[in-house]
Amino acid sequence: MILLVGLGNPGEKFARQRHNLGFMVVDEIIRHHSFSPERKRFQGLVSEGQLGGEKALILKPQTYMNESGRSVGEAMRFYKLTPADVVVLHDELDLPAAKIRIKTGGGAAGNNGIRSIASHIGADFRRLRIGIGHPGDKARVTGHVLGDFAKSDKVWLEPLLDAVAKAAPLLGEGKDSSFANKVHLILNPEPPKKNKPPTANTRPGDKED
């Protein structure tokens, strides 16, 4: 079983903020893979389904970002999971917009949601970091993270949500590198191969030996 955790803050006030990107991504996975309707459990909202042939539980903690670990720890203990079974999806200030990185373990890098989860279950869980870009000025960071996505962000945001949802079964299979590669290929498809031009000794439509 895999536990996918989207990070964000509950309520309409926060729904479109960059800091709620984790909620947005798991919502797209729920829609794309026909997960069950959400219900309240583990101090969060949970939805059940299948990813890559594995049972999957999606959790959106409703404790507010800074206390996410309370919800994740409760769910993990109930299902007797290990940190390796947990994938946390969250916004990442230090990655360019639309870029993703997936890794196991590491520090919190200033994300209080990650810090809270690590304090409850240890640091060795999987993290899908999703870039929102840096505003370029440290004084503008808080406003950027807690600000709503701009209309112009739709150009990259909607394709990214779709790509992550399509590749999500690979997370269920534990194939994190393959997942990252598939997302990249969906967002950056190879251009179609051009037909080989005819040589001087052939006419269009003729086959070369």
Q: Which residues are catalytically annotated? A: 19
Q: What is the rounded CA–CA span in Å between residue 36 and residue 103?
A: 28
Instruction: Say if residue 173 is exposed, middle or buried (CB neighbours under 10 Å; 0-12, 13-18, 19+).
Output: middle
Q: Quote the tokens at residue 93.
A: 């200030």
Q: What is the rounded CA–CA span in Å between residue 170 and residue 187?
A: 16
Task: List the 44-51 sheet strands across, edge first.
Answer: 39-41, 44-51, 54-61, 2-6, 86-92, 126-131, 100-104
Residue type (1 letter), 79:
Y
Q: What is the rounded CA–CA span in Å between residue 190 and residue 11?
A: 40
Closest CA to 33 of 18, 15, 16, 55: 55
End-to-end CA distance of the chain: 55
Q: Quote the tokens at residue 135.
A: 């505003």
Q: Quote the tokens at residue 88.
A: 């946390």
